[in-house]
Every structure is written in C-alpha cells, then in structure tokens.
Chain A
Amino acid sequence: MLDESRLKKVMGSVLKVDPAAIGDDASIETIRTWDSMRHMSLVLALEDEFGVAIPDDEAASITSYPLVLATMRRLLEER
C-alpha cells in the first residue's frame, strides 16, 4: 500500500517544494523546479525510496502527480 504523504515528501524534497503544495494538479507544467533534468532525479529518487524499477517508457512519461501516483501504486502492487 502506497503512503501518499511519503510519496509527496520524496517529490517535495527532490523538486524543492513544500510537499503540502503537491496536489492533483501538480505537474511538470505547474511546478517550476520540475524540469526535464530534475525529472530524472525524481525517477531515481522514487526508485530508491520505494525499491522499485520504473520501466523505461513510464520513467519518461510520469510527469504529473496523478501519473506518478498511479504508476507507483501499480509497481508496488506488482512487487
């Protein structure tokens, strides 16, 4: 079961924003510090934190909070 607050904490620390500010509308478009370079760091941090391997295509496409959430949920369930 994925702990959303932990997920937001990871995203907040990597993206350098307040985790409380990460809502459903959070995406690479709305968070200024979330650029393509930082995105790679985010994927690495998520993998590291939750012990999963994010597949190649998803690694590039999970560019919003709902997409991150859905992907991490699925990966944790599959584990």
Chain B
Amino acid sequence: MTIEKRTAPLEVLADPKATVSAVAGALAEAEELFADAPVVRIGISSNITVDLLGAYLQRHAFVENVRLRVESGGYDDLPGDMERFAAADIGAVLVVLLFDNLLPSFEAQLGTLEDATIVAKREEFRARLELALTRGSAMRTILVTRLHRLSRAVDRAVPDRIARVVADFNAVLDDAAARFPNVTLVDVDNAITAVGAAHAFDWRFYFRGKAPYAVALLDELARNVVAATRAFGGYYRKVLVLDCDNTLWGGVIGEDLLEGIALDPFDYPGNVYWRIQNEVAALERRGVLICLCSKNNAADVDEVLARHPHMVVKDATVVLKIVNWDNKVTNLRRIAVELDVGLDSLVLVDDSAFECEYVRQQLPMVRTIQVPATLSEYPRAFDAVKRLFLAAGLAEESVAKTAQYRQRAVASSTRVAYNSHEDYLHSLGLKVAVSRNAEGRIARISELAMKSNQFNVTTRRYTQAQILDVMRNPDAAVHSFEVSDRFGDAGLTGVVIVLYADAVAMVDTFLMSCRVIGRGVETAVWSHVMAAAERRGATRVRAEYVPTARNALVADFYDRMGLTPCAGAGPTRCYQGELAAIPRAAPAWIEVTDA
C-alpha cells in the first residue's frame, strides 16, 4: 500500500498545531495503516537523550509520504553506535552532539579550563568522530548536527570564550564533512532561532535526564532534517535514467566505436560530457540511483563502461543497465518495477526529441529533460536535473568543500553494487601479510605502539630499543602485519607481541591502526598468531585487557576471540584459554600470508 496524504492520521501529522500525544497517537495509527509501505531506516546517535526526536522525524517523514523506522543508539557511544548501525545495514544516521555535554557542563567549565585541556578534548573529539565516521563510511548519509551553545552570551557582539571554543570544535566537524563525502552537517542554531531561544531548551530534563531539547526544538530539528534529505531520498525524484549515446558521451558507440566517442576532459566536445558524468557521479554519492537506458548492443555499452579511460560513470555507479532495442516507455516501466519505485520517481535525460516526447505523452509522471541542441547549454540544463534531486539550499557549501577534498576512492563509490557488508568486504580483496620480528620495521612498530589508542588492548608503549630487545628475546615474538586491498596498501597497521613461558603464550600487546578497523583483520591476525604459538609448542594462552580512556572499542576483544575471563576484580581483566580450544575463525574475505 502506498501512503496517501488524505488519511486522518496523516492530516494530524501535517498539522503544525498537533500536540505531542496527538502526534504519538497519529503515528501509531499511520504505522498500522501503512504497515505494508516500505520503510526507510535511520539510526540516531547522541550524547544526550532525544527520545522524542525519533517520533518527530517519523512525523515529518510521513508528511512526505515516507515511512521511517528509527533505531536509537546507546547513550554517548558514537563509535559503537556506528558499528552497530553499519552491521544492521542502516544507511542513514543522524548524529546529535551537544557541546555542553562533551564534558559535564562544558560551557561553564570553559571559564576555568586551561587552553591545553580544551585542545586535548577537541583532539579527542576529533579522533572519536573520525573513528565513527570511518565505521560509517559505507553509509549513504550521515547527518551531524553542528555544535551550538546552550547558554546565552552576555554580549553577542563580543565573541566570548564559549563562542570561540564552539567555533573551534565546529571546525572539526567541517573538516570531517570535507573528508567524508557522506557527511552532511545540520544547523541547530537555525532551528533554535526558528523556535526562539526561550522555547528551545528544557533545563529540567537536561539536569535530570540529559534531555535538554524542548519539544518545539526537536520538532523543528526533525523538520529540517527531513527537508534537507528530501525525507532521506524517499520522495521527489530518486532515479536518474540516462540515455548513453550523445547523452553520457558524444557520438554513437555502435558507429564511432570505443576510440571514436567524445569524452576527453581536455577537448571539446568530450569535455562537456565528461563534466556531466562528474555531475552524475556526484548525484550518486548523494543517494540518487543512476540507471542507464539505451538502444544499443549491451556488449558495446559494457565495453565503454569497462574500458573507456575517461568514463567517470562506471558499473559501480550504476544500479541498473537496460540496454536493448525496446522503446523507452517499456524500459522505463521495467526500471520502475525492478527498482520497486514509482514511475514518478524517475527522471529521464535523453538527447532524442522523439524519445522525450514519446515518454512525455505516455508516461507524464516521468520527468523528462532533453539534452539541449546547443551542447554548451547542457551543463545548465543539467542544473535543473540536480535541483530535482537535491533539496534547496542543502549544504551546497559542504558539497563543494567535500568535492575539493574528495579522493577518487573507488572503495566508497562502488558500495551500491553490493548486497551486504560482507559482499563488499569480499570485493575488497583484503590481504594481510604477517611478519615475525621484522627488525627492518622497528621504527614503524614502535610508532604504532606509542600512538595507537583505540584499538590497543593493553596500551603498552614501547620505544624502538625496547622493540628490538623483545625481537631478539628467544622467548618472545613481535608479529607485525601489513594490510592491503585492491585499492591500495595501508602499510604496517598492527602489532601483536607474544611472550612465551613454558607452554604458555602471553599476549602482551595487540594493537591496530584505526584505518583498518571494521574489516575483520583482527580476527584473521589473531587466528594466525594463535597458529604460530601452537607451532612453537604452546598449549595455553593468556591475555589482558587494560582499560584506558580511549580503548573501550576493544573491551570485549578477547571475549570475541574466544578466551575465558579469569576470576578476579580490578579494572584490568585477564583472560586465558587452551590453545587447541580457541576458535580459528579467520574471515573468508581475508587472505593471510607470512611475509
């Protein structure tokens, strides 16, 4: 069942004066009524309590004919939330961070905190954020609220310390948004202004339950988020259907052949098409589904996608290719069926006046845009295409900024092609090469031991000289590993130090760079090291988890690796196990070798 606007609960939800309970009641009714409608899932991760935000996001999504399912994260556990959301295949996450709660009453503390402490906190904030965003790098959208102040400035004309520090922390968010193309920042100050500062906050529940946002602000924030994302891509146009010849490239592939079509970024008219292809790829990054629909031999189009050196739109950019000799109307219907979207979600770009007119007549709900006869006008015509997909004013600035920094990493742009995270991991072709006592790499090994914080089970710091000592100790082994995949080499990214006493292998250090977290590398390395210990004659293994302020990520690492916690209290947890009984579950998508 599709969602129809003129039903009673949706009218309540659309009514700006609906009370909290009216909204809650109408949501329950609408959920029941549209139980068959597809859902868009969004996770919320926050360092404050925003219970009602989920309901208000659902409200505004329903108003735009989108059924939203909201998953709440844990309290103040951004990296953990991201991991869980990614594992649950949730493609959109809203991150709501309250500056004042980064430390208890942070704004009030700022008056007395040393600058160095604030800088350290900011860097910790940066590291945590980047870890979380790295984990969410395969997600479609991560919306992050910009930080704002809770207390009012005495004199807004003179930026006070709070204003300066908030700006400083916001710069961290700007950096992140620039580096991670799926991150969009959401302005909260705007929403606060819209509802009025006096009605925006609820100090009762801030102190009692870390819930500082009043209903009015949550409602406004939800409205902004839904608008900024076009209801998470759930309404307006979703699919861009592109003809190929003289639309995606110049010329006709069946006649001009691979070498003859125009797509050279440095030469007219190829540069016009190449520009358009970049726009198309950017739209794909923003969540638009790209389809090719062309009257051609399928093999010819496949060859261009696979082999033309200047193609920006590649197989991984494209969710569906319909290349045959049927007419466009038949093919557009097929696309709508295959993608399970309405025909009104489709936008067609085609150079043929005949095809465009035919589609307009037969399928008026499809938005059709013809490539202008004057080719230099094509980019401007394509602006209209972009407007159909992108919300007005939606972080245009951050998109532009993202583009500046964006690496042409194929890794993230290929993600739509995979059904599951595991498929994706398989596609990476991950290789882990483990070395033992690699004296030539002592500098890097020590550097990692000195610097790694998050994925570091014991956080023992070792100098180069100490590492060398351990390597030359016959009763010890320093395993280091290098990770690579088909996109490149991440270099030496992890270290495991094992000390041997009689038949016991004591895992002294297990650390890994955050760059390779989330791919199962640790499990593969663990199995490899356990096998090495067994070959060396060990029968039992012991290990420790030493908690620090930064390494909660690995709090359950040894539990996951199949070790048993020893009895005993204290922050440091010891583990043990019989080597033969420890599961060796190396992920199937990783190839481990001895270097």
Contact = CB atoms under 8 A, between A and B. Distances in A.
Contact of B215 (A36, A37, A44): A44
B202 interface: yes
Interface string B40-53: 00000000010110
Contacts of A78: none
Contact of A59 (B22, B51, B204): B204
Interface string A43-63: 111001100000010011000
B25 A41 contact: no
A28 interface: no
Interface in B15-38: 19-22, 24-25, 28
B51 A9 contact: no
A36 B214 CA distance: 16
Given A40-B205, A56-B204, A59-B204, A14 B49 contact: no
A59 B204 CA distance: 8
A41 B51 contact: yes
A5 B93 CA distance: 38
A13 B209 contact: no
A36 B19 contact: no
Interface residues on A, range: 20 to 34
Most buried by A among B21, B208, B209, B214: B21
A43 B28 CA distance: 19
A44 to B, nearest CB: 5
Contacts of B209: 36-37, 39-40
Contacts of A40: 49, 51, 205, 208-209, 211
A49 B25 contact: no
A38 B55 CA distance: 12
DSSP class of A's interface residues: helix, strand, loop or mixed? Answer: helix
B208 A48 contact: no
B141 to A, nearest CB: 25
A60 B208 contact: yes
Contact of B52 (A10, A44, A56): A44
B206 to A, nearest CB: 10
Contacts of A39: 209
B217 to A, nearest CB: 11
A42 to B, nearest CB: 9
A41 B20 contact: yes
A49 B52 CA distance: 15
A74 interface: no
Interface in B42-81: 49, 51-52, 55
Interface string B208-247: 1101001100000000000000000000000000000000
Interface residues on B, range: 10 to 19
B201 to A, nearest CB: 12
Interface string A9-49: 11011101000000000000000000011111101110011
B365 to A, nearest CB: 36
Contacts of A41: 20, 51-52, 55
Contacts, number: 55
B51 A13 contact: no
B25 A38 contact: no
Contacts of A48: 19-21, 215
A12 B513 CA distance: 49
B204 A14 contact: no
A65 to B, nearest CB: 15
Contacts of B19: 10, 45, 48-49
B49 A37 contact: yes
Contacts of A38: 51
Contacts of B21: 9-10, 13-14, 45, 48-49
A13 B28 contact: yes
A12 B26 CA distance: 12
Most buried by B among A14, A43, A59: A14
Given A37-B51, A37-B209, A60-B208, A44 B202 contact: yes
A36 B20 CA distance: 17
B25 A13 contact: yes
B106 to A, nearest CB: 22
B20 A49 contact: yes
Contacts of A14: 20-21, 24
A9 B23 CA distance: 12
A48 B19 CA distance: 6
Contacts of B20: 14, 41, 44-45, 48-49
Most buried by A among B20, B52, B215: B20
Contacts of A60: 208
Interface of B: 19-22, 24-25, 28, 49, 51-52, 55, 202, 204-205, 208-209, 211, 214-215
16 contacts: A13-B24, A13-B25, A13-B28, A14-B21, A16-B24, A37-B51, A37-B209, A37-B211, A38-B51, A40-B49, A41-B52, A41-B55, A45-B24, A48-B19, A49-B19, A49-B21
Interface of A: 9-10, 12-14, 16, 36-41, 43-45, 48-49, 56, 59-60
Given A48-B20, A48-B215, 5 more contacts: A13-B21, A14-B24, A16-B24, A37-B49, A49-B19
